[in-house]
Amino acid sequence: MNERELHEGLTQAEAVRRLKKYGPNKLERNNKVSPIKIFLSQFNDFITWILIIATAISGVMGEKADAITILIIVIMNAILGFVQEYKTEKSLEALKELAAPTAKVLRNGVLKVISAEELVVGDLIILESGDRIPADCMLVEDSNFMVDESLLTGESVGVEKNSRGAKDSSIYMGTIVLKGKGKARIVETGMKTEMGKIAGMLQNIESDRSPLKEKLAALGKVLVILCIVICAVVTLTGIARGQDKYQMFLLGVSLAVAAIPEGLTAIVTVALALGVSRMLKRNALVRKLPAVETLGCTSIICSDKTGTLTENKMTVKAMYFNSRIYYVDKESVPENLILKKAFTYCNDCNFDYKGDNISKSLFGDPTETALIKAFFRENKELKGFMDKAKRVYDIPFDSDRKMMSVVMREGSKETCYVKGAPERIINRCKYILDKGEIKLFTSDYKNKILKAVETMSFDALRCIAGAYKETGIVKGKGLEDNLIFVGVSGIIDPPRKEAKDAVLRCKIAGIRPIMITGDHKNTAFAIGKELSICKNQSEVITGEDLDKLSDKQLSAKTDSVSVFARVSPHHKLRIVKAFKAKSNIVAMTGDGVNDAPAVKEADIGISMGISGTDVTKEASSMILLDDNFATIVSAVEEGRIIYDNIRKFIRYLLSCNLGEVLTMFLASLFYLDTPLLPIQILLVNLATDGLPAIALGVDPPESDIMSGKPRPKNESIFARGLSEKIMVRGSLIGVCTVMAFIIGRYCNYDITTCRTLALCTLIMSQLIHVFECRSERHSLFEMKFFTNPYLVGAVATSITMIMCVLYLPFLQSVFHTSALGIGQWGIVLFFSGIIALINSLYLYFK
Ligand code: ATP
């Protein structure tokens, strides 16, 4: 490694060469989806096997055409199932790739964020608290660096690391930076790292089982038993009446195949996965699939202020020193060299002095870039200023301490510069710099400063105070005591434009938005009021107030508090618990490493894609790619849409299957001829169960989806009258089909025509019913049919299928159908449409 590489990192060309030679920095996993496995798993079903065997037997007994057709239908069903499942697996895999971690790397002297997989040996990376270390490295620079190596050693206490000895400077892939900052050189990547040797990989997407899917799987089992019993009854009564044994057995099995809603759980997965990809388009990356279900129940959204509710584009608007406030836009601010040094030196921005444009050459925390831009216009000027001093020690900013310090060597003397939340700085000052003179920091001075901070914060300004002291000796303990107060700067961070609208949408949807911030009470109130999160100051409470409350008192207060100000990350956990104790479903955002416990505790833990640390991202169930509050609300909306759609196709599938079973059951009960042949039952299953049900899974939302209250988390999927709807409608489909069959008999049509009437009535009833399932409140008259083109396409495909079966002579003989005339179609349409018509009239005039 040459001198240049030591400071500027590898060149891009060299990195590309190494990546090609040594491969990507990733741990190998062998859980790729295998299409063949998925296809074969489609046949891994007991009932299907019985059907195949029964078909084979009937084939041998002479019904060859039937046997072949049944096999073709079984294979077509398997292909349909395969396409669904393969698509789901693929999109889940793509999501895993997207959630892959990133790293901050120096290449050609420029700091870039790249995918951790592209890192190579020799790369220089920057590490900060909360980062998961992306490869095995040696620290080359460090400040207060501490890591959590519990993943490797099992030891959960933090380990200090520094760039001195070889042992102390070794840091390992997968471990976490707990504190401090550091620069490190990569020594091993991928499977060659310590972690690779252990090869215990942390999955990015956890495939937790979805509670809804589990409940449906349990329901499925009950339905299977019920179906088998009914099918057995149908088969046995047929045999008792002297019908052909094999035919009746085949009929029973076909009915079981058609009636058992095997697609139920599969379609839930498809709906969830498609929902996840829709959410991704709206910038919400879901890491845990079950979160999608919970999202729809969210009743409280606790959001950080900075960057989520506000733009995170900061500008200094006011400065306070020499006992007065200067407003930057309205007057010229006199130069205050010490304040300039405190805010510029005690600052972790990275610079790349290319060109003159200072905005383009600053990278880092927006608060800190704003401070630099307040004092400098040009790069040259800034570089000259920075070159005059060298940082010899620092204590980085952290949200608990709310301050940061550096020691700078300027010529022969060393000075400590400190900046942070005004109350914290004031507490540590003994003197004040007033018009160039150092004076004792009397309470008179303190009160004036506090008043100025109050004035600025009421204008929604974020206040940061600066202080200093000449040092040289004390580093570590006592460094930040007995400081000399210099001044305060007030920074504006305007609310995001879309946030106000999103807050309003929350309120209409019965969701309470809560703001949590480390900022001053007044600043928080001013922003909260502008966004309509709170109306008066009684709704604001500070971290200090919070410390005085017991958990019970805090929980009681949650009803009236909408803004939590000057809180530290550890308060967030208490806040989540307090809201949860009141039976709320809580979504909570977080970015820093200390936020992870609260994010984990929340029902929906949300991390920030841009400013979030790896640890918080891993604790979260959803990542906001744009750090935007409005995105949370969109995700909640998607959660509701998905749940609604799941209800829609459950309603559809179950009532249709009930209709099918009941048709056969009623016929056997009243000693009628079998209204449908096995092959016809399988055709009904193919035409109605597959495509239309999937299309319902992607149905666009009803316009009032965000105007009701969130549903309770433990509400059954069949709640709010769904089970009754399924029972009634399913029974009516069965009754109408049997009626069509009976009318056919009454008109003295031959048995083939009567069965064709029943077949068409059953299929058409279901294809009409699928549109009814699109809404639980509105009638077919109010429906915009073409808003779901997939459904229209699916229904058109099914109708074409029946037409072929009815009118193509070859298929007529295969499916034992006859071509219906206009009058006969009249019977079909009457019996399949009458219930939908009555139901729609009822809903319309209700
Ligand atoms: P949120 O929790 O909504 O992100 P926040 O960003 O204001 O709010 P913190 O980052 O914890 O929360 O900041 C709290 C306070 O610490 C600020 O009001 C400010 O006074 C001070 N502060 C913020 N950033 C810095 C910094 N880089 N250096 C020194 N002090 C800072």
For CA atoms 281, 283, 289, 295, the dihedral sign is negative
168 an active-site residue? Answer: no
What pLDDT shows up at residue 324? 93
Q: What is the rounded average pLDDT of the residues 656-680?
A: 88
What is the number of domains present in the chain? Answer: 4
Instruction: Report which protein residue has its CA nearest ligand 1's atom 30.
Output: 420
Q: pLDDT tens for residues 516-549? A: 999 999 999 999 999 999 999 999 999 999 999 9
Task: Identify the H or E element spanning 103.
Answer: strand 102-107
Dist. CA 461 → ligand 1 center (Å): 12
* The last residue of a domain, from among 451, 474, 492: 492
Pair 278, 324 in one domain: no
Q: What is the rounded average pLDDT of the residues 17-30?
A: 82
* The last residue of a domain, from among 627, 645, 663: 627
Question: Candidates 368, 394, 399: which one to mutate for ligand 1, based on the most atoms within 8 Å of Cβ?
Answer: 399
Q: pLDDT tens for residues 152-171? A: 776 667 888 888 777 788 89
Asked whether 748 and 742 are in contact (CB, 8 A), the reply is: no
| DSSP SS3 for 486 | strand
Asked whether 647 and 281 are in contact (CB, 8 A), the reply is: no
Task: Please work out, in degrees rounded to the nearest 5, the angle formed at the alpha carbon of residue 27 by the alpha carbons of 24 and 33.
Answer: 100
User: What is the C-alpha to C-alpha distance for residues 132 and 751, in angstroms, rounded to an integer?
Assistant: 72
Residue at 262 is within a domain = yes
Which residues are within 8 A (CB) of 603 and not within 5 positions of it... i.e. 6 or more apart?
294, 297, 298, 580, 585, 586, 587, 713
Pair 546, 598 in one domain: yes
Pair 558, 654 in one domain: no
Query: What are the DSSP calls for 489-557, one per residue?
Result: EEEE-PBPHHHHHHHHHHHHTT-EEEEE-SS-HHHHHHHHHHTTS-SSGGGEEEHHHHHHS-HHHHHHH
What pLDDT shows up at residue 94? 64
What pLDDT shows up at residue 828? 96
* Ligand 1 atom showing the smallest separation from residue 421 Cα: 20
Asked whether 518 and 567 are in contact (CB, 8 A), the reply is: yes
Kindly report the number of other CB atoms within 10 A of residue 528's CB atom: 27
What pLDDT shows up at residue 16? 93
Pair 829, 727 in one domain: yes
Q: What is the rounded average pLDDT of the residues 409-419?
A: 91
Instruction: HSE, CB side, 13 Å, CA atoms: give it for residue 614.
Output: 23
Length of the chain: 846
304 has pLDDT over 80: yes
| Eight-class DSSP state of 560 | T
Alpha helices in 117-210 (DSSP H): 150-153, 166-169, 194-198
Question: Candidates 402, 428, 462: which one to mutate for ligand 1, based on the most atoms within 8 Å of Cβ?
Answer: 402
What pLDDT shows up at residue 574? 94
User: What is the C-alpha to C-alpha distance for residues 99 and 790, in angstroms, rounded to an integer?
Assistant: 30
User: What is the C-alpha to C-alpha distance for residues 627 and 507, in angstroms, rounded to an integer?
Assistant: 21
Instruction: Report which protein residue has its CA nearest ligand 1's atom 19.
Output: 421
Q: pLDDT tens for residues 690-705? A: 788 888 888 999 888 9
Q: What is the rounded average pLDDT of the residues 344-349?
A: 92
Residue written as tokens 């400040």? 143
Pair 272, 350 in one domain: no
Residue at 74 is within a domain = no
Pair 623, 641 in one domain: no
210 has pLDDT over 70: no
- Per cent of the chain over pLDDT 70 is 93
Pair 119, 176 in one domain: yes
Task: Identify the H or E element spanning 113.
Answer: strand 110-115
State the CATH number of the domain containing residue 532. 3.40.50.1000
Provide the residue type at 117 as one letter: E
Instruction: Report which protein residue has its CA nearest ligand 1's atom 4.
Output: 306
| Furthest C-alpha separation in the chain | 114
Pair 398, 462 in one domain: yes
**Mean pLDDT value across the chain:** 87
Residue at 798 is within a domain = yes
Pair 725, 675 in one domain: yes
State the CATH number of the domain containing residue 791. 1.20.1110.10
* Ligand 1 atom showing the smallest separation from residue 399 Cα: 11
Q: Which of 268, 260, 280 is nearest to 648 (CA)?
A: 268
- CA dist list (Å): 331 to 319, 328, 778: 11, 6, 62
Phi-psi region of 185 (alpha: psi -120 to 50; beta: other; left: phi over 0): beta
Dist. CA 518 → ligand 1 center (Å): 6
Pair 594, 697 in one domain: no
- Per cent of the chain over pLDDT 90 is 49
Instruction: Report which protein residue has its CA nearest ligand 1's atom 6.
Output: 306
Domain that holds residue 387: 315-492
User: What is the C-alpha to C-alpha distance for residues 836 and 842, in angstroms, rounded to an integer?
Assistant: 10
Q: 199 pLDDT band (50/70/90 cuts)?
A: low
Q: Which of 284, 117, 140, 256 is nearest to 629 (CA)?
A: 284
Dist. CA 166 → ligand 1 center (Å): 36
Q: 202 pLDDT band (50/70/90 cuts)?
A: very low
What residue ranges line ligand 1, CB within 6 angstroms?
A: 304-306, 365, 367-368, 397, 399, 402-404, 419-421, 462-464, 517-520
Question: Candidates 128, 449, 464: which one to mutate for ligand 1, based on the most atoms within 8 Å of Cβ?
Answer: 464
Dist. CA 51 → ligand 1 center (Å): 67
User: What is the C-alpha to C-alpha distance for residues 213 and 192, in angstroms, rounded to an integer?
Assistant: 39
Instruction: Report which protein residue has its CA nearest ligand 1's atom 31.
Output: 420
Q: pLDDT tens for residues 71-109? A: 887 787 778 778 767 776 776 666 566 656 788 898 888
33 has pLDDT over 90: no
More confident residue, 141 or 727: 727
User: What is the C-alpha to C-alpha distance for residues 683 and 488, in angstroms, rounded to an integer?
Assistant: 77
Tokens, residue 619: 């604790």
Asked whether 765 and 659 are in contact (CB, 8 A), the reply is: yes
- CA dist list (Å): 593 to 128, 840, 844: 10, 55, 54
Residue at 704 is within a domain = yes
Dist. CA 466 → ligand 1 center (Å): 14
4 has pLDDT over 70: no
Pair 22, 107 in one domain: yes
Residue at 203 is within a domain = no
Kindly report the number of other CB atoms within 10 A of residue 475's CB atom: 15
Question: Choosing from 123, 136, 304, 644, which is the catalytic residue?
Answer: 304
Instruction: Report which protein residue has its CA nearest ligand 1's atom 17.
Output: 519
Residue at 393 is within a domain = yes
What pLDDT shows up at residue 320? 97
| Eight-class DSSP state of 675 | S
Dist. CA 319 → ligand 1 center (Å): 17
State the CATH number of the domain containing residue 372. 3.40.1110.10
Which residues are within 8 A (CB) of 497 and not within 5 positions of it... i.e. 6 or more apart?
none
Residue at 78 is within a domain = no
Q: What are phi and psi of 545, to 5 degrees?
A: -60, -40
201 has pLDDT over 50: no
- CA dist list (Å): 460 to 69, 289, 305: 73, 38, 12
Low-confidence winner among 180-189, 366-375, 470-479 (lowest mean pLDDT) = 470-479
Task: Identify the H or E element spanning 831.
Answer: helix 822-845
Residue written as tokens 């000259």? 384
What pLDDT shows up at residue 100? 65
State the CATH number of the domain containing residue 112. 2.70.150.10
Asked whether 660 and 682 are in contact (CB, 8 A), the reply is: no
How far separated are the first and last CA of the chain, in Å rounded? 80
Q: 205 pLDDT band (50/70/90 cuts)?
A: very low
Q: 198 pLDDT band (50/70/90 cuts)?
A: low
Dist. CA 70 → ligand 1 center (Å): 68
200 has pLDDT over 50: no
What pLDDT shows up at residue 209? 55
* Ligand 1 atom showing the smallest separation from residue 424 Cα: 20
Residue written as tokens 């209700």? 846
What pLDDT shows up at residue 145? 87
Pair 329, 253 in one domain: no
Which is it for strands 102-107 and 136-148: parallel, antiparallel or unpaired?
unpaired
Q: 206 pLDDT band (50/70/90 cuts)?
A: very low
* The last residue of a domain, from among 172, 197, 222: 197
What pLDDT shows up at residue 62? 66
Q: What is the rounded average pLDDT of the residues 552-562?
A: 94
Q: What is the rounded average pLDDT of the residues 806-812?
A: 94
Instruction: Report which protein residue has its CA nearest ligand 1's atom 9.
Output: 518
* Ligand 1 atom showing the smallest separation from residue 520 Cα: 18
Residue written as tokens 């400190």? 418
* Ligand 1 atom showing the smallest separation from residue 346 Cα: 28
Asked whether 513 and 506 are in contact (CB, 8 A), the reply is: yes
Q: pLDDT tens for residues 602-661? A: 999 999 988 888 888 888 999 998 999 999 999 999 999 999 999 998 999 999 999 999
